[in-house]
Chain A
Amino acid sequence: MNEDEKFFAWLDGELDPAAAAEMEAKVAADPALTRLAEQHRSLGAQLKGAFDPIVEAPVPEQLRTAVRPPAQVIDLVAARRVRSMPALAQWAAMAATLAVGVFVGTQVPRGGTAPVQVQGGKLYAAAALDQALDTELASTPTGDVRIGITYRDSAGEICRTFVAPAGSGVACNARGRWQMKGLFAAPEGQGGDYRMAAGMDPNLAALVDSTIAGEPLDATAEKAARDKGWR
């Protein structure tokens, strides 16, 4: 450590007591060093004074939300990784990690089919979810899966958001099949009373916002799109 560094280390309280006493005496005996010490103490105080109000300021809502995300985002890439497993293990793994296992059993008591299936590295709606996306209108919910909004994305595909007991998501119709674009597990404790949940999951809303082209379809256009096979 050179003398400059030692001087500042003394200023910052980083020297051991003996070295600190030595530096203190040196500074006291040297008016230029005494003045430099004052200037740097003042600089330190200015820095603290400028930045400390940030610590006192309210944390923006966006950041507080970031720490406690309202729903766990399901990682579609991770989901794809499991596609080489046997079907049962695959679904078991997905149910465990993706927390959408509630679909199984409640929706398809006998068929043993999952609400989503992985094919060619892509995740598609299946069983009751597939059926709801194909046939259900937002205005006439029937089963446990409810359709939210229907819209065209920037690629021109029809996409539909849905809410089910275990979570919500959005799927887009690619050549007659509903490909999952996002799946979001319901926050804990909200699984059962999803109908009460206020509004759309923020993560889902953000996903829709980033992909929607124009406005969502209204009820007439939604029905017309269904009649034309979602093309």
Chain B
Amino acid sequence: MDHSSPFEDQLASLLPRLRRFAHALSRDAADADDLTQATVERALRSRAQWEPGTKLDSWCYRIMRNLWIDTARAQSRKSAREAPEEEGLSVGEDPRPGIEAAVDLQRVMAAMSQLPDEQREVVALILVEGFGYREVSEMLGLPIGTVSSRLVRGRTALLAMVGEQ
């Protein structure tokens, strides 16, 4: 029952990278997979808007980023209604540096989640996903100087939180 098309094949091969970006944007792994799923569904529904020949990955990353902004807004409204709860982040206090990847990820995600959204997405796209400044500025619809200055502020704040080890 193979009824897949090249579009679906390409989308499937992007899943691991999209999940990684989702983890960088979200605050936990469950949110990240929900975001990835929503992105896939949106991409499939909007496939007619994708121009073949252009990069599917940039297109999907942009969808994910926009969906995430929508949910992040809804969530911040929600958490503003509920009493804000201190998450007890122990960034920089982990007594066991360099242990399993899962712990590393948690620690880095915690630090990332402290960044303002607009810095976090730029840090994730450039330092984690490996896109160039120009590509990110096109993806986000921002001047390249804005991308560059957000990146400086984001990575400087991250360094202060994570420390250098």
Contacts and interface: CB of A to CB of B under 8 A. Distances in A.
Interface of A: 1, 4-5, 8-9, 12, 14, 38-40, 42-44, 46-57, 59-60, 62-64, 66-70, 187-190
B126 to A, nearest CB: 7
Given A39-B164, A42-B165, A43-B158, A67 B152 contact: no
19 contacts: A4-B152, A5-B149, A8-B148, A12-B126, A43-B155, A47-B123, A50-B104, A51-B23, A53-B101, A54-B19, A54-B23, A55-B20, A57-B19, A63-B36, A66-B40, A67-B44, A69-B44, A188-B1, A190-B1
B159 interface: yes
Nearest to A190: B1
Contacts of B24: 51
Contact of A48 (B128, B132, B133, B155): B128
Interface centre among B33, B40, B126, B145 (most CB of A within 10 A): B40
A46 B23 contact: no
Nearest to B102: A53
B109 interface: yes
Nearest to A53: B101
Which 9 A/B pairs are nearest by Cβ-Cβ distance?
A50-B108, A55-B16, A188-B3, A54-B20, A53-B101, A66-B40, A50-B105, A50-B104, A39-B164
**Is chain B's interface secondary structure helix, strand, loop, or mixed overall?**
helix
A190 B12 CA distance: 23
Contacts of A39: 159, 164
Interface of B: 1, 3-4, 8, 11-12, 15-17, 19-20, 23-24, 33, 36-37, 40-41, 44, 101-102, 104-105, 107-109, 123, 126-128, 132-133, 145, 148-149, 151-152, 155, 158-159, 162, 164-165
